[in-house]
Structure 1
Amino acid sequence: MQGADKGQTASLDGNGLSIGVVRARFNDAITTALANACLKELAALGVSDRHIVQVTVPGALEVPLALNAMANSEDYDALIALGCIIRGETYHFELVANESGAGVTRVGLDHQLPVANAILTVENEEQAWARVEEKGRDAARVAVEMANLLEKLL
Protein backbone atom coordinates (compact mmCIF):
# COMPACT_ATOMS: atom_id res chain seq x y z
CA MET A 1 0.00 0.00 0.00
CA GLN A 2 1.37 3.37 -0.96
CA GLY A 3 0.81 6.76 0.60
CA ALA A 4 0.93 8.15 4.09
CA ASP A 5 -0.41 6.23 7.06
CA LYS A 6 -3.37 8.38 8.05
CA GLY A 7 -3.48 6.84 11.51
CA GLN A 8 0.27 7.03 12.12
CA THR A 9 0.15 9.56 14.94
CA ALA A 10 -2.43 9.10 17.69
CA SER A 11 -4.27 12.31 18.47
CA LEU A 12 -5.43 12.55 22.07
CA ASP A 13 -6.78 16.09 21.71
CA GLY A 14 -10.34 16.03 23.03
CA ASN A 15 -11.08 19.70 22.44
CA GLY A 16 -14.42 20.10 20.65
CA LEU A 17 -15.35 16.42 20.86
CA SER A 18 -18.76 15.26 22.09
CA ILE A 19 -18.66 12.01 24.04
CA GLY A 20 -21.53 9.83 25.26
CA VAL A 21 -20.98 7.57 28.26
CA VAL A 22 -23.24 4.65 29.18
CA ARG A 23 -22.65 3.12 32.62
CA ALA A 24 -24.26 -0.05 33.93
CA ARG A 25 -25.38 0.29 37.56
CA PHE A 26 -24.93 -3.41 38.37
CA ASN A 27 -21.85 -3.58 40.62
CA ASP A 28 -22.47 0.12 41.21
CA ALA A 29 -19.47 0.98 43.38
CA ILE A 30 -17.11 -0.48 40.79
CA THR A 31 -18.80 1.10 37.78
CA THR A 32 -18.99 4.47 39.54
CA ALA A 33 -15.23 4.34 40.16
CA LEU A 34 -14.73 3.29 36.53
CA ALA A 35 -16.79 6.28 35.38
CA ASN A 36 -14.91 8.67 37.66
CA ALA A 37 -11.55 7.55 36.24
CA CYS A 38 -12.90 7.86 32.70
CA LEU A 39 -14.36 11.33 33.25
CA LYS A 40 -11.17 12.56 34.90
CA GLU A 41 -9.15 11.39 31.90
CA LEU A 42 -11.60 12.93 29.42
CA ALA A 43 -11.14 16.26 31.21
CA ALA A 44 -7.35 15.85 31.10
CA LEU A 45 -7.59 15.26 27.34
CA GLY A 46 -9.54 18.51 26.88
CA VAL A 47 -13.09 17.20 26.52
CA SER A 48 -15.41 19.83 28.00
CA ASP A 49 -17.90 18.75 30.68
CA ARG A 50 -20.67 20.31 28.62
CA HIS A 51 -19.79 17.96 25.74
CA ILE A 52 -20.12 14.80 27.83
CA VAL A 53 -23.51 13.14 28.26
CA GLN A 54 -23.77 10.36 30.82
CA VAL A 55 -26.60 7.86 31.15
CA THR A 56 -27.00 4.83 33.36
CA VAL A 57 -28.72 1.55 32.66
CA PRO A 58 -29.50 -1.42 34.92
CA GLY A 59 -26.78 -3.79 33.68
CA ALA A 60 -24.34 -4.73 30.94
CA LEU A 61 -27.00 -6.26 28.69
CA GLU A 62 -28.78 -2.89 28.50
CA VAL A 63 -25.63 -0.92 27.59
CA PRO A 64 -25.77 -1.64 23.82
CA LEU A 65 -29.38 -0.43 23.53
CA ALA A 66 -28.54 2.91 25.18
CA LEU A 67 -25.40 3.21 23.03
CA ASN A 68 -27.47 2.55 19.93
CA ALA A 69 -29.97 5.28 20.85
CA MET A 70 -27.12 7.73 21.41
CA ALA A 71 -25.52 6.73 18.11
CA ASN A 72 -28.83 7.22 16.30
CA SER A 73 -28.92 10.82 17.53
CA GLU A 74 -25.72 11.60 15.58
CA ASP A 75 -24.76 13.99 18.40
CA TYR A 76 -21.55 12.23 19.44
CA ASP A 77 -18.03 11.83 18.09
CA ALA A 78 -17.49 8.71 20.22
CA LEU A 79 -19.22 6.62 22.86
CA ILE A 80 -17.96 4.80 25.94
CA ALA A 81 -19.43 1.64 27.48
CA LEU A 82 -18.78 1.10 31.19
CA GLY A 83 -19.79 -1.90 33.25
CA CYS A 84 -18.60 -4.79 35.36
CA ILE A 85 -19.50 -8.46 35.00
CA ILE A 86 -18.18 -10.72 37.75
CA ARG A 87 -18.15 -14.47 37.18
CA GLY A 88 -20.69 -16.39 39.20
CA GLU A 89 -21.47 -20.06 39.52
CA THR A 90 -23.69 -20.30 36.44
CA TYR A 91 -23.46 -19.84 32.67
CA HIS A 92 -25.04 -16.39 33.07
CA PHE A 93 -21.57 -14.77 33.19
CA GLU A 94 -20.69 -16.00 29.70
CA LEU A 95 -24.06 -15.01 28.32
CA VAL A 96 -23.87 -11.46 29.67
CA ALA A 97 -20.20 -11.00 28.75
CA ASN A 98 -20.59 -12.33 25.21
CA GLU A 99 -23.86 -10.62 24.37
CA SER A 100 -22.95 -7.23 25.81
CA GLY A 101 -19.59 -7.30 24.06
CA ALA A 102 -21.14 -8.25 20.74
CA GLY A 103 -23.78 -5.55 21.13
CA VAL A 104 -21.22 -2.85 21.89
CA THR A 105 -19.16 -3.85 18.85
CA ARG A 106 -22.23 -3.91 16.63
CA VAL A 107 -23.17 -0.33 17.56
CA GLY A 108 -19.75 0.92 16.50
CA LEU A 109 -19.77 -0.97 13.23
CA ASP A 110 -23.38 -0.21 12.34
CA HIS A 111 -22.94 3.52 12.93
CA GLN A 112 -19.26 3.90 11.98
CA LEU A 113 -18.84 5.50 15.39
CA PRO A 114 -16.03 4.73 17.83
CA VAL A 115 -17.24 2.89 20.93
CA ALA A 116 -14.70 2.28 23.68
CA ASN A 117 -15.67 -0.91 25.49
CA ALA A 118 -14.72 -0.78 29.18
CA ILE A 119 -17.14 -3.39 30.42
CA LEU A 120 -14.93 -5.35 32.78
CA THR A 121 -15.28 -9.13 32.71
CA VAL A 122 -13.54 -10.52 35.76
CA GLU A 123 -13.40 -13.57 38.01
CA ASN A 124 -13.95 -11.67 41.25
CA GLU A 125 -14.40 -8.26 42.82
CA GLU A 126 -10.69 -7.98 43.65
CA GLN A 127 -9.80 -8.23 39.96
CA ALA A 128 -12.36 -5.57 39.14
CA TRP A 129 -10.96 -3.10 41.67
CA ALA A 130 -7.44 -3.76 40.37
CA ARG A 131 -8.53 -2.70 36.85
CA VAL A 132 -10.90 0.21 37.52
CA GLU A 133 -8.48 3.14 37.25
CA GLU A 134 -6.53 1.89 34.25
CA LYS A 135 -9.58 0.74 32.28
CA GLY A 136 -11.45 3.98 32.99
CA ARG A 137 -8.52 6.04 31.70
CA ASP A 138 -8.02 3.70 28.73
CA ALA A 139 -11.65 4.05 27.68
CA ALA A 140 -11.32 7.83 27.59
CA ARG A 141 -8.12 7.69 25.55
CA VAL A 142 -9.53 5.14 23.10
CA ALA A 143 -12.67 7.22 22.55
CA VAL A 144 -10.71 10.42 21.88
CA GLU A 145 -8.08 8.77 19.70
CA MET A 146 -10.62 6.90 17.59
CA ALA A 147 -12.89 9.94 17.21
CA ASN A 148 -9.93 11.90 15.85
CA LEU A 149 -8.85 9.02 13.61
CA LEU A 150 -12.31 8.54 12.11
CA GLU A 151 -12.52 12.28 11.47
CA LYS A 152 -9.43 11.88 9.27
CA LEU A 153 -10.61 8.71 7.57
CA LEU A 154 -14.21 9.56 6.76
Structure 2
Amino acid sequence: MATAYKNLSDFSESEVPSAQGYKFGIVVSEWNHKVTGALLDGAISTLKNYGAADEQIITHTVPGTFELSTGAQLLLESETFDAVICLGCVVQGETRHFDFICNAVSIGITDVALKYNRPVIFGVLTTDNMQQAIERAGGRHGNKGDEAAVTAIKMADLAKKLKK
Protein backbone atom coordinates (compact mmCIF):
# COMPACT_ATOMS: atom_id res chain seq x y z
CA MET A 1 0.00 0.00 0.00
CA ALA A 2 1.43 3.36 -1.00
CA THR A 3 1.73 5.71 1.93
CA ALA A 4 3.18 9.13 2.52
CA TYR A 5 6.41 7.36 3.48
CA LYS A 6 6.87 5.02 0.54
CA ASN A 7 6.90 5.20 -3.22
CA LEU A 8 6.02 1.67 -4.29
CA SER A 9 7.33 2.26 -7.80
CA ASP A 10 10.91 2.10 -6.49
CA PHE A 11 12.26 -1.27 -7.57
CA SER A 12 15.85 -0.61 -6.56
CA GLU A 13 15.73 -3.39 -3.95
CA SER A 14 14.12 -5.88 -6.29
CA GLU A 15 15.68 -7.77 -9.18
CA VAL A 16 13.58 -7.43 -12.31
CA PRO A 17 14.27 -9.87 -15.15
CA SER A 18 14.62 -8.75 -18.74
CA ALA A 19 11.39 -8.24 -20.68
CA GLN A 20 13.14 -9.11 -23.92
CA GLY A 21 11.42 -11.92 -25.79
CA TYR A 22 8.12 -11.71 -23.90
CA LYS A 23 4.88 -10.50 -25.45
CA PHE A 24 2.66 -8.24 -23.37
CA GLY A 25 -0.94 -7.25 -23.87
CA ILE A 26 -2.27 -4.14 -22.19
CA VAL A 27 -5.96 -3.39 -21.74
CA VAL A 28 -6.64 0.14 -20.54
CA SER A 29 -9.88 1.82 -19.53
CA GLU A 30 -10.91 4.99 -21.35
CA TRP A 31 -12.80 6.18 -18.25
CA ASN A 32 -10.74 8.58 -16.10
CA HIS A 33 -8.36 8.97 -19.05
CA LYS A 34 -6.18 11.55 -17.30
CA VAL A 35 -5.23 8.83 -14.83
CA THR A 36 -5.37 5.73 -17.04
CA GLY A 37 -3.33 7.46 -19.75
CA ALA A 38 -0.60 8.12 -17.20
CA LEU A 39 -0.78 4.50 -16.02
CA LEU A 40 -0.44 3.34 -19.62
CA ASP A 41 2.54 5.62 -20.25
CA GLY A 42 4.20 4.26 -17.12
CA ALA A 43 3.57 0.63 -18.05
CA ILE A 44 4.88 1.00 -21.60
CA SER A 45 7.92 2.98 -20.47
CA THR A 46 8.76 0.39 -17.83
CA LEU A 47 8.36 -2.55 -20.22
CA LYS A 48 10.70 -0.82 -22.68
CA ASN A 49 13.18 0.09 -19.93
CA TYR A 50 13.46 -3.60 -19.12
CA GLY A 51 14.01 -4.63 -22.75
CA ALA A 52 10.61 -5.07 -24.41
CA ALA A 53 10.47 -3.90 -28.02
CA ASP A 54 7.54 -1.94 -29.44
CA GLU A 55 6.24 -4.97 -31.33
CA GLN A 56 6.14 -6.97 -28.08
CA ILE A 57 3.57 -4.60 -26.55
CA ILE A 58 -0.02 -4.68 -27.85
CA THR A 59 -2.43 -2.13 -26.37
CA HIS A 60 -6.22 -1.97 -26.59
CA THR A 61 -8.74 0.27 -24.88
CA VAL A 62 -12.06 -0.63 -23.31
CA PRO A 63 -14.79 1.83 -22.29
CA GLY A 64 -14.46 1.44 -18.52
CA THR A 65 -12.77 -0.48 -15.75
CA PHE A 66 -15.63 -2.98 -15.60
CA GLU A 67 -14.76 -4.09 -19.16
CA LEU A 68 -11.11 -4.87 -18.36
CA SER A 69 -11.83 -8.54 -17.63
CA THR A 70 -13.56 -9.07 -20.95
CA GLY A 71 -10.85 -7.11 -22.74
CA ALA A 72 -8.16 -9.32 -21.20
CA GLN A 73 -10.09 -12.44 -22.18
CA LEU A 74 -10.51 -11.22 -25.76
CA LEU A 75 -6.78 -10.50 -25.97
CA LEU A 76 -5.89 -13.96 -24.69
CA GLU A 77 -8.30 -15.56 -27.16
CA SER A 78 -6.88 -13.58 -30.09
CA GLU A 79 -3.19 -14.38 -29.72
CA THR A 80 -0.56 -15.67 -27.33
CA PHE A 81 0.67 -13.28 -24.66
CA ASP A 82 3.09 -14.01 -21.86
CA ALA A 83 1.15 -11.59 -19.64
CA VAL A 84 -1.74 -9.16 -19.90
CA ILE A 85 -1.82 -5.93 -17.91
CA CYS A 86 -5.19 -4.42 -16.97
CA LEU A 87 -5.13 -0.69 -16.20
CA GLY A 88 -8.07 1.23 -14.81
CA CYS A 89 -9.21 3.71 -12.19
CA VAL A 90 -12.34 3.67 -10.03
CA VAL A 91 -12.92 6.68 -7.80
CA GLN A 92 -15.28 6.44 -4.83
CA GLY A 93 -18.52 8.31 -5.37
CA GLU A 94 -21.68 8.81 -3.38
CA THR A 95 -23.21 5.43 -4.20
CA ARG A 96 -22.25 1.77 -3.83
CA HIS A 97 -21.37 1.59 -7.54
CA PHE A 98 -17.69 1.79 -6.54
CA ASP A 99 -17.97 -1.37 -4.44
CA PHE A 100 -19.70 -3.37 -7.16
CA ILE A 101 -17.24 -2.34 -9.87
CA CYS A 102 -14.13 -2.96 -7.76
CA ASN A 103 -15.37 -6.36 -6.63
CA ALA A 104 -16.41 -7.46 -10.12
CA VAL A 105 -13.15 -6.34 -11.71
CA SER A 106 -10.89 -7.98 -9.14
CA ILE A 107 -12.76 -11.27 -9.41
CA GLY A 108 -13.01 -11.00 -13.20
CA ILE A 109 -9.30 -10.41 -13.70
CA THR A 110 -8.47 -13.33 -11.42
CA ASP A 111 -10.93 -15.59 -13.25
CA VAL A 112 -9.41 -14.75 -16.64
CA ALA A 113 -5.90 -15.47 -15.36
CA LEU A 114 -6.94 -18.83 -14.00
CA LYS A 115 -9.03 -19.76 -17.06
CA TYR A 116 -6.18 -19.07 -19.51
CA ASN A 117 -3.32 -20.02 -17.17
CA ARG A 118 -1.57 -16.74 -17.95
CA PRO A 119 -0.59 -13.83 -15.74
CA VAL A 120 -3.28 -11.14 -15.88
CA ILE A 121 -2.14 -8.19 -13.84
CA PHE A 122 -4.40 -6.01 -11.69
CA GLY A 123 -3.26 -2.45 -12.37
CA VAL A 124 -6.45 -0.83 -11.17
CA LEU A 125 -6.53 2.15 -8.84
CA THR A 126 -9.40 2.10 -6.33
CA THR A 127 -9.21 5.46 -4.62
CA ASP A 128 -11.32 7.66 -2.40
CA ASN A 129 -10.84 10.71 -4.64
CA MET A 130 -9.24 11.90 -7.85
CA GLN A 131 -6.25 13.43 -6.05
CA GLN A 132 -5.29 10.02 -4.65
CA ALA A 133 -5.53 8.57 -8.15
CA ILE A 134 -3.30 11.27 -9.62
CA GLU A 135 -0.76 10.70 -6.84
CA ARG A 136 -0.60 7.02 -7.85
CA ALA A 137 -0.45 7.64 -11.60
CA GLY A 138 2.93 9.33 -11.74
CA GLY A 139 2.60 11.54 -8.67
CA ARG A 140 4.20 11.38 -5.24
CA HIS A 141 3.27 7.73 -4.69
CA GLY A 142 4.79 6.56 -7.96
CA ASN A 143 2.96 5.04 -10.89
CA LYS A 144 0.84 1.91 -10.57
CA GLY A 145 1.43 1.40 -14.31
CA ASP A 146 5.14 0.94 -13.58
CA GLU A 147 4.31 -1.53 -10.83
CA ALA A 148 1.92 -3.48 -13.06
CA ALA A 149 4.55 -3.73 -15.79
CA VAL A 150 7.20 -5.01 -13.38
CA THR A 151 4.70 -7.53 -12.03
CA ALA A 152 3.94 -8.68 -15.59
CA ILE A 153 7.64 -9.15 -16.35
CA LYS A 154 8.23 -11.08 -13.15
CA MET A 155 5.20 -13.31 -13.66
CA ALA A 156 6.03 -14.00 -17.33
CA ASP A 157 9.55 -14.93 -16.25
CA LEU A 158 8.23 -17.19 -13.47
CA ALA A 159 5.89 -18.97 -15.88
CA LYS A 160 8.77 -19.54 -18.31
CA LYS A 161 11.03 -20.90 -15.56
CA LEU A 162 8.39 -23.29 -14.27
CA LYS A 163 7.66 -24.66 -17.75
CA LYS A 164 11.25 -25.83 -18.11
Q: TM-score scaled by structure 2?
A: 0.85
Q: Of the candidates 92, 95, 99, which is equivalent to residue 94 of structure 1?
A: 99
2:95 match: secondary structure: coil
- Structure 2: where are the runs of 5+ without partners? 1-13
Q: TM-score scaled by structure 1?
A: 0.91
State the aligned residue count.
146
Q: Distance in 2 between matches of 1:87 and 1:19?
A: 30
Q: Which runs of at least 4 in structure 1 moved beyond 3 Å after TM superposition? A: none
Q: Distance in 1 between matches of 2:147 and 2:128?
A: 20
Deviations 1:42-100 (A, max 9, x none): 10010111111100000011110010011123420000000000000001000001001
Q: Distance in 1 between matches of 2:67 and 2:156?
A: 23
- Note the aligned Cα RMSD (angstroms): 1.3
Identity %: 36
Deviations 1:108-142 (A, max 9, x none): 11111011111100000010011113211111100
Partner residue, 1:62? 67
Partner residue, 2:149? 140
Q: Of the candidates 118, 121, 126, which is equivalent to residue 116 of structure 1?
A: 121
- Contact (CA 8 Å) 1:19, 1:52: kept in 2 or not? yes
Map of 1:1-154 to 2, 5 A cutoff?
11-133=16-138, 134-154=143-163
Give the helix-richer structure, 1 or 2: 1
- Structure 1: where are the runs of 5+ without partners? 1-8
